[in-house]
Amino acid sequence: MTENKEQLIVLVDDDPRIRELTAKYLSDQGLSTITADSGKSLDTVLKNNDISLIVLDVMMPDETGLNICQRLRVNENTIPIIMLTAKGDEVDRIVGLEMGADDYLPKPFNPRELLARITAILRRQDNTKVISKNKIVKFGDYTFNIEQRSLYKKDIEISITTGEFDLLKVFAERPMQPLSREQIMRLSKRKELDVYDRSIDVQISRLRRLVEEDPNKPDFIQTKWGFGYIFNPDGATK
């Protein structure tokens, strides 16, 4: 049985049978779970509760899960999202990830697999919170100290420009959160960056040359095709 009593999951699905059965299974495994049947009811849940993770169905009548996911990310809501997609619907899976979903699971799904995916994401979130309190982010051989404005590779300090620091800080404070070019420009407060002439891409290419073993196959600062970028401190899966 999984012990996650302090963490609250919300399951969003317009099918009452799926909602009830899945919520009961997760609750039986130690996950506090509440349900919502639409984007509107999800908004109410988010307003009144401290939610740790959202399980979100794609196909819903009033507002699709893809639209809900996009809306949350545009408003800088960083709560992890697992999308439930129709079996074999590759387009929904790809679009969901591009919109900012953290993971997906095709229907019909095994509740044990859903539990495993939820647990993995929550564990990763817990580890990130511990690191963030100290303003120190570790990825690969690198240690990035935000307060000291320093970057080390093993025991060797790496020279980092103000622009590179600002960009890396944006990513380091938002691990595993897909960021659009517009968000990166706003959060880094780099006025010289232009979304439309792709100067952000140029700056990120420079940052990749600084922290990636192979900038053409980045492990940490990864491209989210059709959306922007995402920082994965654990590195790409080989």
2-57 residue pLDDT tens: 444 468 999 999 999 999 999 999 999 999 999 999 999 999 999 999 999 999 99
d(CA 6, CA 184) in angstroms, rounded, equals 32
Q: In the prediction, which pLDDT does 186 show?
A: 79
Residue 238 has pLDDT above 50, yes or no: no
In angstroms, the Cα distances linking 144 to 157, 200, 211 are 10, 21, 11
Nearest to 39 by CA among 72, 9, 77: 72
Residue 79 has pLDDT above 50, yes or no: yes
Q: Is 189 in contact with 199 (CB distance < 8 Å)?
A: no
d(CA 223, CA 140) in angstroms, rounded, equals 18
How would you classify the pairing of strands 142-145 and 136-139? antiparallel
Confidence of residue 198 (pLDDT cuts 50, 70, 90): low
Q: Do domains 4-131 and 134-231 have the same CATH topology?
A: no
Confidence of residue 126 (pLDDT cuts 50, 70, 90): low
Does 64 or 86 have the greater pLDDT score? Answer: 64
Q: In the prediction, which pLDDT does 203 show?
A: 84
Nearest to 52 by CA among 79, 76, 70, 30: 79
Average pLDDT over residues 176-203: 72
The domain locations on the chain are 4-131, 134-231
d(CA 171, CA 177) in angstroms, rounded, equals 8
Nearest to 76 by CA among 177, 193, 168, 223: 177
Helix (H) or strand (E) segment spanning residue 127: helix 111-133
Q: In the prediction, which pLDDT does 183 show?
A: 84
- Cβ neighbors of 17 (< 8 A, separation 6 or more) are none
Structure-derived torsion over alpha carbons of residues 20, 125, 181, 201, reported in degrees to the nearest 10: -130
83-108 residue pLDDT tens: 998 766 677 777 877 777 888 898 88
Does 51 or 225 have the greater pLDDT score? Answer: 51
Q: In the prediction, which pLDDT does 132 show?
A: 53
Average pLDDT over residues 186-195: 61
Q: In the prediction, which pLDDT does 113 show?
A: 95
Nearest to 173 by CA among 159, 182, 183, 162: 183
Instruction: Indicate the pTM of the whole model.
Output: 0.58
Choices 3.10.129.10, 3.40.50.2300, 1.10.238.10, 3.40.50.9100: CATH for 4-131: 3.40.50.2300
Does 185 or 38 have the greater pLDDT score? Answer: 38
Average pLDDT in the chain:
85
* CATH code for the structural domain at 134-231: 1.10.10.10
Handedness of CA 36, 53, 18, 107 (dihedral sign): positive
C-alpha 57: how far from its chain's center? 17
Q: In the prediction, which pLDDT does 61 show?
A: 87
Residue 64 has pLDDT above 90, yes or no: yes
Q: In the prediction, which pLDDT does 134 show?
A: 54
Cis peptide before 111 (omega within 30 of 0): no
Residue 131 has pLDDT above 60, yes or no: no
